[in-house]
Amino acid sequence: MSYNVNEYVNSIDVPTNSEELSHVKDLITLKHLIYGDAWTVRQSCYNEAFGMHSHLRYIGGTLLINAERRLNKVIGTGITSESIDVDWSKAPNAERPHISDELSVEHQDQNAREFIDQLKYRMYVCAISYVLHVQEHDDISRDLDQLTFSAIQARATAKRAA
């Protein structure tokens, strides 16, 4: 089963004074300034929206799930990276210093939680970019009498099914 991007996008709250929202709006404005024509801006917005949709599916459907699973494993058991260093020709192993490069469970827990928080933030930013680029693509598409983002996606899905 695929991760439901639209469900995620509808679940987040983005304040109108969000810095990320402002940056993505600035990016879209720059696309208009750089490309100078509606057709190219429309294509750029489609590419960005499609890329963010794919990235959200990957982060939400794979990376985040795996990171949360890893966190649960750390909390439940701890993870060891200890290695055994035995050399039978030297002094008995018991007399040699014990070397462990194991991270404490607390440190592993903190690292896992920070990674999950980073993934959630990336998803938040990608969702903002996705929504604004779809909206801009669709606005331009209406002006040019072209298909909207969802209509293009539906047509592609129908072609793959045929």
Q: Tens digits of per-residue pLDDT, 5-16?
A: 999 999 999 999
Residue 34 within a domain: yes
DSSP state of 63: I
Residue 5 within a domain: no
Domain that holds residue 82: 20-161
What is the model's pLDDT at position 80?
A: 46
Q: What's the pLDDT tens digit per position in 125-142?
A: 999 999 999 999 999 999
Tokens of 56: 């959200």
In sign, the C-alpha dihedral spanning 116, 118, 119, 120 is: positive
Give this prediction's pTM.
Answer: 0.80
Q: What's the pLDDT tens digit per position in 64-90?
A: 999 999 888 877 765 444 455 556 566
- Residues 140-156: what's their mean pLDDT? 96
Number of compact structural domains in the chain: 1
Residue 37 within a domain: yes
Residue 6 within a domain: no
Residue 10 within a domain: no
Orientation angle between helical segments 105-144 and 38-58, nearest 10 degrees:
150
Residue 88 within a domain: yes
Say if residues 127 and 56 touch (Cβ distance below 8 Å): yes
Residue 2 within a domain: no
**What's the N-to-C CA distance of the chain in angstroms?**
20
Residue 7 within a domain: no
Backbone angles phi, psi at 100, to 5 degrees: -130, 125
